[in-house]
Structure 1
Amino acid sequence: MALVALLSNPRSTGNQSLLPRVRSFCAREKDIFHYEVEEVGQIGQALRTIARVKPKLLVLNGGDGTVQAALTELYHGDHFAGNPPPVAVLPNGKTNLIAHDLGAEGDPIVALERVLELARTDMAPNIVQRELISLTDGSAGGRAVLGMFLGGAGLADTILYCRDKIYPLGLPNGVAHFLALIMGLASILIGRRARFLPLPARPLTISVMKRGVLKGTFAFLMVTTLQRLLFSGNMPGAGQPTGSMQLLLIDRSLPALMRALVAAVRGRLGRYTLTGVHLERGDEIRIEGSRSSVILDGELFEADDNRPIILKPTPPVPFLRLAA
């Protein structure tokens, strides 16, 4: 048996420089079983092997895409006979949204030390429940993909622009994200396609079960089960331990974006109605639109008029929160 199982993806951007330190740390700690995959497709085999050592805690070392793939395999693979261990996430990758939500920030080795410290005690006070987002295209027998943060509309186009155009420049993450934000806002101001800007958002139809339908062109579409995000403190309704997916939709309008941004910075988003800002909670969300991209924890999917993307929450999954 192992106290902690650590699953690392060496191809994650952050691991290119971090992994030698991780290996050295694990070599000193007999309570850690370290498994490295060469590609995301090997995560299923990795979890089958990890299940044999019966860890008290599973730690994921990779970007949001690695975490998404591991959560999907945990959900479908049943490698732990219906009783998977709690999951901890090291701060790694470009955005670290999932790690940030779980209080893992700063140096990943410091976070790993904290994980090991908690695993040697009663972890119950630090265990939190999070629902996952299950994404399918509605087809019979289709395999759902699991994640915790989905971006669409202009947000997805800006993320793709940052990934394809800005990250290759080798800038620090914070600078790259700031530049992507500026270019995304410029795209809204110009209002038409320009070669040097993110693609203009396409019309979408968003259906929230028992809530209604929203149609239009949107600058920002987010669906999440996270409670903390980088641009604000807590999501509206974050005090609820569980409770369906949260949808934030902002019209393709600079005033609407500014109203949402100011409210988020002041911690008042969701407390009162803002023109052009739509915030809902739902048990099923459908996204339809011609060749409209959405990104679930780093993985790209495409909605179409006749093939909607359908989102549903899963039962709660235990995670380890590093912050007190």
Structure 2
Amino acid sequence: MGNTGGATRICMISNPTSGNNRKWQARIEARLAAYPQVAHHVTRSPHEAEELVPQLAASCPDVVVINGGDGTIAAALGMILRHWAQDELPLIVLLPGGTANMTAGDIGVASSHKQALKRFFRWLDRGAPLTGDIRTRHIMRVTGAADGHVRHGMFLGTGAIMQATRFAHKNVHSRGLGGELSLGMVLVRSVWGLIRQDPKFYQPTHVAIAVENGSGVEVTRDTAPMLILVASTLGRLFLGIRPFWAKDEAPIGLTAIQGGARRFARAFPSVLRGRPNRHVTVENGYESFRGARIELRFDGELNLDGELFATAGGDVPLVIEAEGPIRFLRAK
């Protein structure tokens, strides 16, 4: 959708409790006062956002700017998909207002909050053109949580991802460190723990997998101990990591590394690049898929864009489905 005449209509949603925004929110609001064409809305809870988004849809903006962390972005995108018709979706601009900001690193204005704000206001000064670097991504709709809630996100992980997340919260983010550098520190420490099979990190989760591609063909894997399992609709994760190498045309990438995977220290660097070397084989415990719908059956916790929650377990699958696509403008 594009505005064929007049000024670009812009709505902005900010979460002031997100990591970077706790330091920058007052300055952002003061700066936005010079741009009356931006309708700025500050939401401090999911309930406030739920009430706001239908009003935004009724105003038919050309661009919705989301200023928050990965969780805020995912929740807002889910609401936008619910309240807009697919053929009337606005362009989305992402500002990295959170702590990790992995989503904004892929499809946002920039991964650095300071650089992103500089580019964003420069874009406004240029008249907020609706052309430029536009990237298309789907979002994952996730059901099958223990609390019964429907969630949206762009990165999901379990297995060692859970141990890495807890390490990050306790030892990195609690000290005020954020962004890609902090995630790189967590990655290095986690991989070292996995290579040494340190029980603080090496805790495989038993998971059964069913992946349906866009043509309706399903591939299944029986329950097996998964050391690492990640799914994402992003083109890149932090630090340029692209851990998916399946060639199918489907929006969700899924990579599974089994407990006891052989040659881990030699294989894992190539997994991170999405360019498997000779050690990365199914026989050695490494596999990657692409799907439009994925079912995972396991009893445990997972990380969805920074939110930790438990599966319903038992016979209730965790279902991951692709919704969208959504167009993201990397304003400059």
Give TM-score, length-normalised by structure 2.
0.81
Equivalent in the alignment of 1:163: 169
2:99 to 94, 101, 108: 94
Q: Is the 8 A contact 2:156 2:231 kept in 1?
A: yes
How many residues of Structure 1 are paired with residues of Structure 2 in the alignment? 314
Moved more, 34-43 or 203-212: 203-212
The 1:318–1:175 alpha-carbon spacing in structure 2 relative to 1, beyond 3 Å, is closer
CA offsets 1:6-62 (integer angstroms, 9 cap, x no match): 100000011011112211221111221111012232111222333344321001000
**Matched residues in 2 for 1:72 and 1:4: separation?**
19
User: Which residue matches 2:206?
Assistant: 203
Residue number in structure 2 paired with 1:13: 19
Indicate the residue corresponding to 1:113 in structure 2: 121
Change (3 A) 1:94 1:172: closer
Q: Distance in 1 between matches of 2:197 and 2:274?
A: 29
Query: In the alignment, residue 102 of structure 1 is paired with which amino acid?
Result: I
Secondary structure of the residue aligned to 2:124 is helix
User: Residues 191 and 127 of structure 1: is their aligned pair in 2 closer, same or farther, counting only changes over 3 Å?
Assistant: closer
Matched, 1:223 2:231: yes
Q: Describe the shift of the 1:227–1:171 C-alpha distance in structure 2 as closer, same or farther (beyond 3 A).
A: closer
Matches within 5 A, 1:3-82: 3-76=9-82, 78=83
Say yes or no: does 1:129 pair with 2:136.
yes
Would you say 1:308 and 2:317 are equivalent positions? Answer: yes
Q: Distance in 2 between matches of 1:232 and 1:238?
A: 18
Q: Partner of 1:317 in structure 2?
A: 326
Q: Give, as a single letter, the amino acid of the residue that structure 2 aligns with 1:204.
A: V
- Percent identity of paired positions between Structure 1 and Structure 2: 23
| 1:37-90 deviations in Å (ceiling 9; x for gaps) | 1223211122233334432100100000101111121122x1679723111111
In 2 relative to 1, CA 198–271 (structure 1 residues): closer, same or farther, beyond 3 Å?
A: closer
TM-score, scaled to structure 1: 0.83
CA contact (8 A) 1:98 1:226 kept: yes
Give the Cα separation in 1 of the matches to 2:259 and 2:122. Answer: 42
Change (3 A) 1:253 1:171: farther
TM-superposition CA deviations, 1:114-157 (whole Å, max 9, x none)? 5536763242x533321111111199xx6632221111111123
Q: RMSD of aligned C-alpha atoms? A: 3.3
Q: Give the partner amino acid of 2:16.
A: P
Assess if the C-alpha contact under 8 Å between 2:194 and 2:201 holds in 1: no
SS at match of 2:268: helix
Between 1:98-107 and 1:81-90, the stretch displaced more is: 81-90
CA shift for structure 1 position 224: 0.8
Which ranges of structure 2 fall in alignment gaps of 5 or more residues?
1-6, 213-217
Given the superposition, is the C-alpha separation of residues 273 and 103 from structure 1 closer, same or farther in structure 2, using an over 3 Å criterion?
same
CA change 1:208–1:270 in 2 (3 A) is farther
**Are the counterparts in 2 of residues 9 and 61 from structure 1 also a CA contact under 8 Å?**
yes
Cα 1:86–1:239, aligned 2, differ >3 Å: closer, same or farther?
A: farther
Q: Is contact 1:94–1:173 with CA below 8 Å preserved after alignment?
A: yes
* Rounded Cα–Cα distance in structure 1 between residues aligned with 2:245 and 2:118: 30
Q: Aligned pair in 2 of structure 1 residues 120, 191: CA closer, same or farther (>3 Å)?
A: closer
CA distance in 1, matches of 2:321, 2:186: 29
Asked if structure 1 preserves the Cα contact closer than 8 Å seen for 2:242 and 2:273, the reply is: no
| One-letter code aligned to 1:86 | L
